Amino acid sequence: MQSIRVFAPATVANIVCGFDVLGFAVNAPGDEVILRIIGPPGVRIRAIHGDGGLLPLDPCRNTVSAVVMRYLEQTGDPGCGVEIELFKKMPVGSGLGSSAASTIAGLFAINTMKGNPLGQSQLLAIALEGERIACGQGHADNVAPALLGGFVLIRSYEPLDVIRLHTPAHLVCALVHPQIEIQTRDARRIIKKQIPLSDTVRQMGNVGAMVAGLYQEDDRLISRSMQDVIIEPTRAVLIPGFYRLREIALEQGALGFGISGSGPSIFALAASRGSAQMVVEALRKELFRDGIDSEGYVSSVNREGPSILEGEPASGEP
């Protein structure tokens, strides 16, 4: 096999209560990578489609090529020739784990081509370096669910300890990406560095209850757990009408609503596809009333992480 085409899913980090420690993957949107083994040594980006020219083609600065280079060094094959074509199928800087999806697609592709010498924990460690390149900090709540699929808990960063949680089959995600710009770096900079003990207690209760809610498939417990008293009050100001949007999502039957990762995307979990569809429509309508265009997605939770796609796209779009 000289080339491979891989899909990796978008992800919702934090899931409201679990800043930097909870995340889940969705089946749509997601990114695609075609990776080819070529004769001349070195890793190069052949093309990036769908990013509007935003992402760097320089292999040292692009996260996908940078992690593939790191992978080849780590597996003792630094001279291997690799050509990468990236198909962005989701907005960049959207809070949907865009860089993580590309990174995981690239790593999964090269690992598969090489006969899977590295396991998930080694791939995750390399992917975290990619996140550092993309947003200055190595948080794992996008790369871990993108690689493992399903709901994921990061128990510890040092050492990295990632736990795949039970993923109820009926949960559906409503995602809306408003056309406003928020950089993860900026959204992290504004967070308070000191928090009261009482808030920490509430947050710990919610994270624990969310994990229990997933295992018990208890929608009402999941719903009660989707509260954030630490990060959201600061970040909500970045999304116009945030609290009104939450009211609307809950009125439409969402179990819970919040910021996806560091935003600007917002998401809701719902107990059915029909309910998630209504949430997406209502949220987009409200944003539009405020003069904000948006894109909406309704997706089941992705359970397997990246997957190999058959064949090559004709050209340009897959």
Determine which helix (DSSP H) or strand (DSSP E) holds 26, and give its type and residue range. Answer: strand 22-38
CB nearer to ligand HSE: give 35 or 104: 104
From 36-44, 47-55, 180-188, 296-304, give the range in contact with ligand HSE by CB under 6 A: 180-188
Cα(273)–Cα(70) distance, integer angstroms: 40
CB nearer to ligand HSE: give 83 or 141: 141
Sheet of 294-300: strand order equals 256-259, 266-270, 172-178, 294-300
Which residue sits closest to ligand HSE, CB atoms considered?
261
Least CB distance from residue 188 to ligand HSE, whole Å?
5
Residue 276 has φ and ψ, to the nearest 5°, of -60, -40
Count of residues that bind ligand HSE according to CB under 6 A? 13
Least CB distance from residue 133 to ligand HSE, whole Å?
14
Question: Do 173 and 299 touch, CB atoms closer than 8 A?
Answer: yes
Member of 49, 114, 188, 303 binding ligand HSE (CB under 6 A):
188
Cα(242)–Cα(176) distance, integer angstroms: 12
| Helix and strand counts by DSSP (H, E) for the chain | 10, 11
Report if residue 217 touches ligand HSE, rule: CB under 6 A. no
Question: Do 116 and 19 touch, CB atoms closer than 8 A?
Answer: no
CB nearer to ligand HSE: give 18 or 318: 18
Member of 27, 65, 103, 184 binding ligand HSE (CB under 6 A):
184
Site for ligand HSE in 10-39 (CB under 6 A): 13-14, 19-20
CB nearer to ligand HSE: give 103 or 184: 184
For the record, the structure tokens of 19 come out as 């800043």
Report if residue 91 touches ligand HSE, rule: CB under 6 A. no
Nearest residue to 305 via CA among 139, 156, 162, 197: 162
Q: Where are the beta strands (DSSP E) in 109-233?
A: 151-157, 160-164, 172-178
Cα(83)–Cα(34) distance, integer angstroms: 8
115-154 footprint of ligand HSE as x/- string (CB under 6 A): ------------------------x-xx------------
Report if residue 95 touches ligand HSE, rule: CB under 6 A. yes
CB nearer to ligand HSE: give 13 or 113: 13
CB nearer to ligand HSE: give 261 or 318: 261
Q: What is the identity of the amino acid at 79?
A: G
Least CB distance from residue 209 to ligand HSE, whole Å?
19
Q: DSSP per residue over 227-258, as a string?
A: --SSSHHHHGGGSTTHHHHHHHHHHTT-SEEE
Report if residue 93 touches ligand HSE, rule: CB under 6 A. no
Q: Is the dihedral of CA 299, 303, 305, 310 positive or negative?
A: negative
Which residues belong to the active site? 131, 184
Least CB distance from residue 60 to ligand HSE, whole Å?
23
Integer-rounded Cα Rg, in Å, for the chain is 19
For the chain, the farthest-separated pair of C-alpha atoms sits apart, in whole angstroms, at 60
Report if residue 261 touches ligand HSE, rule: CB under 6 A. yes
Residues that bind ligand HSE (CB under 6 A): 13-14, 19-20, 95, 139, 141-142, 184, 187-188, 261-262
